[in-house]
Amino acid sequence: MRLSINTIVGIIVLLLVLAGFLAVFFAVEKEQTVPLLMVAIANVEAVILLVFLITRGVLQPLKDYRKVIHKVGEGDFTVRMKLGAPKEIREFGQGLNDMIERLEHAQEREKQIERLKTEFVSLVAHQLRAPLSDIKWALDVLKDEDMGKLSAQQRSVLEKTVLSNERMIRLVNDLLNVTRIEEGRYLFHRELSQITDLLLVMVEAYKPAAARKKVEVVLELPQNPPPLLLLDKEKMELAIQNLVDNALKYSPAGGRVTISLVYDTKGVEVKVRDQGMGIPESEQKRVFEKFFRASNARAKEPEGTGLGLYLAKNIVEAHGGTMSFVSKENEGTTFSFKLQIK
């Protein structure tokens, strides 16, 4: 049986009081009445006082320390032990404080590295943007034959270059958006919008790409549109685009991508379902991590940043929504997000 210090102290106090009474009892027996009784009571009181002082001096600081250690355990390295008497306790506290301080410094360094990383990515992305625009414009002028006729071969090369340029621009935009999220500068401007309008426009825009891949894109909407939602249309579009992009990218020829919307009085749910390769179960918990790409996705499509789902989830959550998915390898994946109706 394990006894707490409090119990042990209590037992000691009881024993001492008992001893005091016994002393008094024997004193009375020997008819040395009053003075000895007084002495005995004084003794007992002194013992109680002593125990009280020890409890205060040792147990109270230890209790305070326990609170501090608990906070440190939760990752708060700004707390410190109060240093009081006695000496042993003070030294113990000082030792712990030194340790916490080192942890605090390590944490600050880590934060600084994280900040530098974000700043670096942001700087690079910004610097890339201007030359990428230059290239885009130059390609456009060439493609429109403003500078002379193109041979079929030249046109074919040019068109591939245009696609590469577009991909780089998208990558830079994704990187900029990620750094904005991390710096808390990803601002949302919501207005009441009809989410089905957004889906209709998007499905239309995806038709050529889907036809090229021989994938059918189906939109399933309820008969009556849901109530208007407060949306940042541009960002919500980006979120859904990322889901549809993925669905298309990993669909086999002849497959189908189904975008559906259902709603009730509480909220709207949008689902993007594909019949693609699915996400291996062992990798599913990492799907929303920044820069993460599933191994089978990497093998099929070397291109891709692993930022799309991270961005999409952040955007949905900034709208107070939640995002989830179910996936089975070689059968397909369904991403869905829910937005509340307020």
Partner 1 sequence: MAKILIIEDDKFLRELLSQKLLKEGYEVIEGIDGEAGLKKLQEEKPDLALLDLILPGLDGFEILSRAKSNPETAGIPVLILSNLGQQEEVEKALKLGATDFLIKAHFTPGEIVSKIKAILV
Q: Could you list the residues that contact partner 1 (CB under 8 A)?
A: 126, 129-130, 132-134, 136-138, 140-141, 144, 146-147, 169, 172-173, 180, 185, 187, 189
Output the smallest distance, CB 173 to partner 1, in A: 8
In a 10 Å sphere around its CB, with 0-12 CB exposed, 13-18 middle and 19+ buried, how is residue 311 labelled?
buried
Output the smallest distance, CB 206 to partner 1, in A: 18
Whether 271 contacts 336, CB under 8 Å: yes
If the CB atoms of residues 44 and 239 are measured against partner 1, the closer one turns out to be 239
Output the smallest distance, CB 160 to partner 1, in A: 16
If the CB atoms of residues 2 and 149 are measured against partner 1, the closer one turns out to be 149
Q: For the chain, how many residues are written? A: 342
CA distance 263 to 200: 17
Nearest to 13 by CA among 40, 49, 37: 49
If the CB atoms of residues 245 and 329 are measured against partner 1, the closer one turns out to be 245
Output the smallest distance, CB 132 to partner 1, in A: 6
If the CB atoms of residues 129 and 155 are measured against partner 1, the closer one turns out to be 129
* 324: amino acid identity, one letter: S
Kindly give, in sequence order, each residue whose CB lies less than 8 Å from that of residue 177, ignoring residues fewer than 6 positions away. 186, 238, 307, 311
If the CB atoms of residues 133 and 156 are measured against partner 1, the closer one turns out to be 133
In whole angstroms, how large is the CA radius of gyration of the chain? 35
Output the smallest distance, CB 231 to partner 1, in A: 14
CA distance 312 to 314: 5
